[in-house]
Amino acid sequence: MGNDLLAFVVMVIVQLGFAGMIIITKLVMDGGMNPFVQSAYKPIFATISIAPFAFFLERKTRPKMTPSILFQIFLCSIFGITSNQYAYFIGLTNSTPTVASAIDNLIPAFTFLIAVPLGVEKLGLRSIAGQAKFWGTIICVGGAMLLSLYHGKVVIGQLGFHWKYAENTGKDVNSAHSNILLGPFLLIVSSLTAAIWLIIQGRVSERYAAPYTCITLMCLMASVESVIIGICVVPKFSEWALNPIRVISVLYNGVVCTSFAFYLSLWCIEKKGPLYVAMFNPLLLVISVFLSWTLLREKLYLGVVVGSIIVVVGLYGFLWGKKMETSTDEIEIEVTKEKNQSSISVDLELQLPNSNGYPLESKQISETKAKL
């Protein structure tokens, strides 16, 4: 009971951390910080903060690095950080925190769509689990299309109370709705690159059992990539200057939302499994909606509300199907083990003689089985 409660609290903290990242990042970019600059600073601080974990926790257990694994980590840095954060931050600049957190729920669906042709996942439409995953994916994508292309009337208007600093930025968060295609499109691209990263990262984890070293190398490579791209796009060094709120933003993104969140999520995956962690994704949407409405005075539109609900329903449908499939696979593995054990018992009883050439007695059989 204590472990269940602790895992629940940990995942709520993780989602609160991500929601805070969305709000403060949106705020500083509306205040004039270029998204390319934001993207360049994040992996730098992430590398600095997570490197000590890699050094102290994995220096004695770290496997040997090979060129093949290093190349795969390089691909992870491109898809999982560099291209992902560029698409996300530019998309967030042209959208709202609510839309960004809603589209984040597409990552499991996109991962499934990519994994099926690669043979990592099975479609299995003849089973209930396969149908749930398939239709859950379709519903997720449909909900994302709805909130991207249709806004409708205002369901909940602006709140009178708001963050004073948000007013000083001189930009209304709702003005992003004038560009209804670019923002959601780039956020969808961000979810797609995250799904590609998950596929590659899964293979890296199988071959290189040092997650902290892996994420450190990935962030280091992304730092170099992002700085080069950032300097080419934003050559004026004055735009790279960090005032107090920008320092808070880049430190928060690098330390809290990369190192700290990664450590807590990894702990939760080990204790409760990846499905348990994925089930908390919609909580990010709820927290982001509340914070954006109260602090940034975001309006909630009918299309965004309905589309977000559809995305969440599709996500849970997909996760339910995945859980059923996992349970079925576990049962099949147990049945196979029992059959193998029964086969070993029969073989021992019929074929293995004792030192006198006679069949083994039951006690000897048990001892032999224990040794096997």
Sign of CA dihedral 350, 355, 358, 362: negative
Q: Please, are residues 86 and 35 in contact by the beta-carbon 8 Å criterion?
A: yes
For residue 130, what are the contacts with CB-CB under 8 A and spacing of at least 6?
A: 122, 123, 124, 321, 325
pLDDT in tens, 277-302: 777 778 888 888 888 877 777 777 88
Quick check: 226 pLDDT over 90? yes
For residue 24, what are the contacts with CB-CB under 8 A and spacing of at least 6?
A: 245, 248, 249, 252
pLDDT in tens, 307-316: 888 888 888 8
Spatial distance between the Cα atoms of 102 and 296, rounded to a whole number of angstroms: 17
Sign of CA dihedral 114, 116, 120, 121: positive
Rounded to 10 degrees, what is the CA torsion of 196, 201, 204, 205?
-150
Q: What whole-number percentage of the chain has pLDDT above 90?
A: 16
3-state secondary structure of 361: coil
Q: How confident is the model at residue 150 (pLDDT cuts 50, 70, 90)?
A: confident
Cα radius of gyration rounded to whole Å, the chain? 25
Residue 330 has what pLDDT? 62
3-state secondary structure of 155: strand
What DSSP element (H or E) covers 216?
helix 211-233
pLDDT in tens, 84-124: 999 999 998 888 888 888 888 888 888 888 888 887 777 77
pTM of this prediction?
Answer: 0.76
- Residues of 294-317 as b/e, b for ≥16 C-beta within 10 angstroms? ebbbbbbbebbbbbbbbbbebbbb
